Amino acid sequence: MGSDMVRLPADSFIADFRDAVKAKNTDLKDIPPRFLIVYRNKAAYENKELNMEEDTAVSGFGDSKKNALVVMVPNLKLEGINVVVNGRNSNVFGYFGRNR
C-alpha cells in the first residue's frame, strides 16, 4: 500500500477526486472511477465507517498525510476479467492527500 497526492481545486467533490486518482495510476486503467471507494481517513476505513459519497466536497479532507483520504479498490469483475491491483482482488490502493 502506498501513498501519493493529487491536486484538486478547493471546490472539488469526491467524484473529481476519484477521477484524479484514476488518471494518476495506470494500475487502475480498467476500473471505472465510480467503483473506487473513498474513506475520509485511515481510521474511517479501519472502523468500516460509511464511505464518502460522490457529491461530498473534498474541502477539509486529505489536507495532510496524517489525514489522507483512503481509496479502496473493491473486488470486481469487469467484462469477464477479474480486476487485481497489487496482487489482490480487494485491497486499499493507497492513501491520497489533496492539495489545492
Look at strands 91-99 and 2-7 and give their pairing. Answer: parallel
Residue 53, pLDDT score: 93
Residue 81 has pLDDT above 80, yes or no: no
pTM here is: 0.74
Closest CA to 98 of 32, 1, 11: 11
Q: Are 36 and 22 in contact, with CB atoms under 8 Å apart?
A: yes
Q: List, in order, residues 6 or more apart from 5 with CB less than 8 Å away.
A: 96, 97, 98, 99
pLDDT in tens, 3-27: 678 888 888 999 999 999 899 888 8
pLDDT single digits (tens) 13-64: 999 999 998 998 888 888 889 989 999 988 998 898 989 999 999 888 887 7
Structural domains of the chain ordered from first start = 2-99 (3.10.20)
CB 35 within 8 A of CB 70: no
